[in-house]
Amino acid sequence: MSCQAAGSCSKKSLFPLGELEELFPGKVKFQADMRQFTTLKVGGPSDALVEPSSPAEVDKLMAWCKKNEVPWLVVGRGSNLVVRDGGIRGVVMRVGRAMAGLQAQESKELVRLRVQAGCPVSRLLREAVRRGWDGLGFMTGIPGYLGGAVAMNAGSSETGMDSVVEELEWFDPEAGVVRLSRQELNFNYRSLSLPKGGVILEVTLALRPGETQRVREAVRMQMRKRKAAQPLGKPSAGSVFKNPPGDFAGRLIEKAGLKGLSRGGAVVSERHANFILNMGGARASDVLGLMEEIQKRVLEQSGVPLEPEVRIVGEDG
């Protein structure tokens, strides 16, 4: 059966995507509306979206894509993603709640967690508060899944995921399953160097045992700080631009007088200038147009080139 025959695939797709239904029954969405799979709520459809439920299924899906020369894109919750209006050709591999296992080994000196990549950061924080695991407060308010948080080295202005990651397991398109220690990983500001197309499977975190009340208060304090500084009520992709060395992107954007600047349904937040909000009905082209205008105006005003922190994927509409 071809996806064209099933009438469910993009006219732009030239790939035998219908075969995926037989390989992953009940786990495939054709013409998946990427607005439903990103926190910014913009973008066109993907030819197919598959949610594997185990490392073995990741291997199986990647092998199928390679055999059929079908491009694939790995996503989690899509909290730092801008999908262009033309959508995504090929397969979106969504590592989500079907791969969200969590195991803990606790001692008096150390809490070691083995967590699958699809575990929501919010669930991890709830467990940390409930069981008194110290060291994750900086993740408060991060909306994504753990794999994505590690891939972008998410965190606060003071620290990031590299401070708690002890070991990482991922699926390499060429080498298969790879496991490396923290010392062997190349973390950078808001990024982690991984082979193109690699899929994070499991993360080992090293935390400290603490008191439940103290951990709870640290999380509450961080949430209060985020709520005071960041707009949390409208769809966004989080921080749009990376902070340049020794400065803050939000400060430079505000200095250029760009708070409240809008295009279509997208607007630069009045609360935090490094956030672009979807006020309703925004298109990816609105967001990307605002980003280009921000980069141009900040460069003219401050002489600083801003680099996107969000990933921009897909085709123009």
Q: What is the pLDDT of residues 220-270, one digit of tens each?
A: 988 898 888 888 889 999 999 999 999 999 999 999 999 999 999 999 999
Domain stop point among 45, 67, 94: 94
**List of residues 6+ apart from 270 with CB closer than 8 A:** 231, 259, 260
d(CA 226, CA 92): 31
**CATH code of 87's domain:** 3.30.43.10
Residue 261, both tokens: 């600047």
Cα angle 238, 198, 151; round to 5: 30
The domain tally of the chain equals: 3
Say whether both 111 and 181 belong to one domain: yes
d(CA 146, CA 255): 34
Q: Which is higher by pLDDT, 101 or 195?
A: 101
Helices in the chain by DSSP H: which ranges? 3-6, 19-23, 55-67, 121-131, 146-151, 212-229, 249-255, 284-302
Say whether both 217 and 290 belong to one domain: no
In the chain, how many H helices and how many E strands? 8, 17
Q: In which residue are the tokens 């399953």 written?
A: 177
Query: Is residue 3 scored above 50 in pLDDT?
Result: no
CB 6 within 8 A of CB 17: no
Q: Which amino acid is at 71?
A: P
Residue 313: inside a domain:
no
Can you name the residues that pair with 168 across neighbouring β-strands? Answer: 180, 203
Say whether both 115 and 133 belong to one domain: yes
Q: Please give the model's pTM, rounded to 2 decimal places.
A: 0.89
The pLDDT tens digits of the residues spanning 127-166 come to 999 999 999 999 998 889 999 999 999 988 788 999 999 9
The pLDDT tens digits of the residues spanning 167-194 come to 999 999 889 999 999 999 999 988 999 8
- For residue 219, the SS3 value is helix
Residue 52: phi, psi to the nearest 5? Answer: -65, 150
Closest alpha carbon to 172 in 66, 28, 49, 27: 66
Say whether both 84 and 176 belong to one domain: no
Catalytic residues: 190, 239, 309
3-state helix, strand, coil in the chain (%, to 5): 30, 30, 40
Closest alpha carbon to 44 in 71, 13, 4: 13
State the DSSP code for 177.
E
Containing structural domain, residue 12: 3-94
Say whether both 114 and 224 belong to one domain: yes
How large is the average pLDDT for residues 28-50?
A: 97
Domain stop point among 175, 206, 229: 229
Of all residues in the chain, the percent with pLDDT exceeding 90 is: 81
